[in-house]
């Protein structure tokens, strides 16, 4: 349970990708890792523990191997920091029917109905002008600020039979307060003033923002014998936590151990700090010391792409392939798709299964039903961009992309143990 409880603390500290990276950096610093900047100079140093942040939302950390990457290769674990949610638009508020509303956009594949009738906080980063210099500042407004309010069943009699249908443009603006007729100023002024106060600046200093709504209910253990985790953002902060913990616990080995926590996976990864951008390749190039040694290093490298997996649902078992039905608290899941929506192949799967077998960790398999569309991960993107053999894995979970998800409380320790062995050079 120690790992599970630490995961819950990590998630509670990370309501946004920016907070997730900040929490990871705090933990790395406490473990003796030093920050480097992309504008500075860095390369391979045996045993050196370093990390680098890009765009506040992505982080790469490494522990230098005993030999240069060209000889020892890289052991890489990738995950993503972002989760589907509601985000404020550039003009973040409007008034309607006497109410003050946040004006929101939908980020990623949100399970929309789960965001109704929740006590929502607001967090993220504010970009402010300080004496002509732009600075990013994290803010977090934990007190319940807003609510996406359901229509009463008396006015929507068929909702239980036909389901709750929410139009992304018309029905998702959370109620923030009242806006009486003749109110002074504008809705935007009210919200920007609150953001400025949280950031410790004047309203006119606010130049931009990336702000997410989130459920203020803390994550918790649940179920008989605390078998479950009830928490937001398990997809995919659970895998960020496993990778981070594994790297911190990994002693220096022959290979250079690397974790890459990317933003923007939920919207395709095609950004400067996403997995389809050059961030990880840039860091590998600098650690290897040039193109030719990087190519030699890649030929000696392996990547674990870690993203949560679909556990079988007791009421919807027919949605799974009968022979590939992961269960909670039954160990890590290898995800395979012959159309390469996952990057796993026979060789990379064998490596991961062997790591599990060496540790006595149970290992499960997931294959999407061939007649249903399959999701994807950073695995195929990273494999094709880097040329590194990759296996896609994850811990099993339910309620994926809900505002509040569910997983097994025993699985985090099992995945962390396998990642630790992998990064340390086992196999």
Instruction: Give pLDDT tens digits for 180-199.
Output: 988 989 999 999 999 999 99
Q: Which of 414, 404, 405, 1 is nearest to 227 (CA)?
A: 1
pLDDT of residue 427: 84
Q: Are 290 and 297 in contact (CB under 8 A)?
A: no
Residue 315 backbone class (left: φ over 0; alpha: ψ -120 to 50; beta: rest): alpha
pLDDT of residue 142: 92
Q: Rounded to the nearest 5 degrees, what angle is found at the Cα of 84, between the Cα atoms of 150 and 326?
A: 105
Q: Which of 46, 395, 18, 68 is nearest to 243 (CA)?
A: 395
What strand order describes the sheet that includes 74-80? Answer: 34-35, 49-54, 58-63, 256-262, 74-80, 302-306, 390-394, 333-336, 364-367
Q: Which residue has the tokens 């946004």?
A: 16
Which whole-number Å values give the CA distances from 177 to 13, 119, 146, 174, 359, in the listed order? 26, 13, 8, 9, 54
Q: Which domains does the chain have, with CATH numbers?
A: 2-83+232-423 (3.40.630.10), 85-215 (2.30.250.10)
Q: What is the pLDDT of residues 297-350, one digit of tens each?
A: 999 999 999 999 999 999 999 999 999 999 999 999 999 999 999 999 999 999
Beta-strand pair 302-306/390-394: parallel
Residues in contact with 30: Cβ distance below 8 Å, sequence separation at least 6, in sequence order: none
- Helix H or strand E encompassing 85: strand 85-96
Burial of 212 (0-12, 13-18, 19+ CB in 10 A): buried
**Any bridge partners for residue 303, and if so which?**
76, 390
pLDDT of residue 263: 98
Which whole-number Å values give the CA distances from 25 to 32, 307, 327, in the listed order? 11, 20, 32
DSSP code for 420: H
Which whole-number Å values give the CA distances from 286 to 63, 226, 278, 358, in the listed order? 14, 45, 12, 33
The rounded mean pLDDT for the chain is 97
Beta-strand pair 74-80/256-262: parallel
Q: Which of 221, 188, 181, 185 is nearest to 206 (CA)?
A: 188
pLDDT of residue 391: 98
Distance CA 367, CA 169 (A): 35
Digit-by-digit pLDDT tens for the chain (427 residues) are 999 999 999 999 999 999 999 999 999 999 999 999 999 999 999 999 999 999 999 999 999 999 999 999 999 999 999 999 999 999 999 999 999 999 999 999 999 999 999 999 999 999 999 999 999 999 999 989 899 999 999 999 999 999 999 999 999 999 999 999 889 899 999 999 999 999 999 999 999 999 999 999 999 999 999 999 999 999 999 999 999 999 999 999 999 999 999 999 999 999 999 999 999 999 999 999 999 999 999 999 999 999 999 999 999 999 999 999 999 999 999 999 999 999 999 999 999 999 999 999 999 999 999 999 999 999 999 999 999 999 999 999 999 999 999 999 999 999 999 999 999 999 8
Tokens of residue 61, six digits: 């950390």
Q: What does R_g of the chain's alpha carbons equal in angstroms?
A: 22
DSSP code for 311: P
Distance CA 108, CA 83 (A): 7
Q: Which residue has the tokens 């594994």?
A: 246
Q: Which of 310, 387, 301 is nearest to 351 (CA)?
A: 301
pLDDT of residue 16: 98
Q: Which residue has the tokens 């220096």?
A: 252
Residue 208, Cα to own-chain centre: how many angstroms?
A: 23
Tokens of residue 298, six digits: 């890649």
């Amino acid at each position: 349970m120690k790992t599970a409880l630490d995961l819950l603390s990590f998630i509670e500290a990370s309501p946004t990708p920016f907070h997730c990276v900040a929490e990871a950096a705090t933990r790395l610093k406490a473990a003796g890792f030093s920050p480097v900047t992309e504008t500075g100079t860095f390369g391979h140093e045996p045993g050196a523990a370093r990390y680098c942040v890009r765009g506040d939302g992505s982080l790469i950390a490494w522990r230098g191997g005993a030999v240069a990457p060209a000889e020892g290769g890289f052991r890489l674990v990738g995950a993503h920091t972002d989760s589907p949610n509601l985000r404020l638009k550039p003009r973040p508020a409007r008034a309607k029917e006497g109410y003050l509303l946040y004006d929101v956009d939908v980020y990623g594949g949100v399970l929309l109905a789960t965001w109704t009738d929740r006590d929502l906080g607001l967090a993220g980063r504010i970009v402010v002008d300080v004496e002509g210099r732009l600075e990013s500042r994290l803010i977090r407004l934990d007190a319940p600020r807003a609510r996406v309010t359901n229509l009463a069943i008396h006015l929507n009699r068929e909702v239980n039979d036909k389901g709750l249908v929410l139009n992304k443009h018309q029905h998702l603006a959370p109620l923030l307060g009242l806006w009486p007729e003749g109110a002074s100023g504008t809705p935007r002024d009210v919200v920007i003033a609150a953001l400025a106060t949280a950031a410790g600046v004047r309203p006119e200093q606010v130049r931009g923002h990336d702000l997410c709504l989130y459920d203020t209910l803390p994550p918790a253990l649940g179920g008989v014998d605390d078998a479950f985790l009830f928490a937001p953002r398990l997809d995919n902060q659970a895998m960020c936590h496993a990778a981070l913990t594994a790297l911190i616990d990994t002693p220096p080995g022959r290979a250079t151990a690397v974790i890459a926590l990317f933003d923007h996976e939920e919207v395709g990864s095609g950004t400067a700090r996403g997995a389809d951008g050059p961030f990880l390749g840039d860091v590998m190039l600098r650690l290897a010391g040039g193109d030719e040694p990087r190519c030699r290093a890649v030929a000696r490298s392996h990547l674990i792409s870690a993203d949560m997996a679909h556990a079988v649902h007791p009421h919807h078992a027919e949605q799974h392939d009968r022979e590939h039905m992961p269960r909670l608290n039954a160990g890590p899941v290898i995800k395979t798709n012959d159309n390469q929506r996952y990057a796993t192949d026979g060789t990379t799967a064998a490596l991961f299964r062997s790591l599990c077998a060496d540790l006595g960790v149970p290992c499960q398999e997931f294959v999407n039903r061939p007649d249903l569309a399959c999701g994807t991960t950073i695995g195929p993107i990273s494999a094709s961009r880097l040329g590194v053999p990759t296996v896609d894995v994850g811990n099993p979970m339910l309620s994926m992309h809900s505002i509040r998800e569910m997983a097994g409380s025993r699985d985090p320790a099992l995945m962390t143990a396998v990642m630790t062995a992998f990064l340390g050079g086992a196999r």
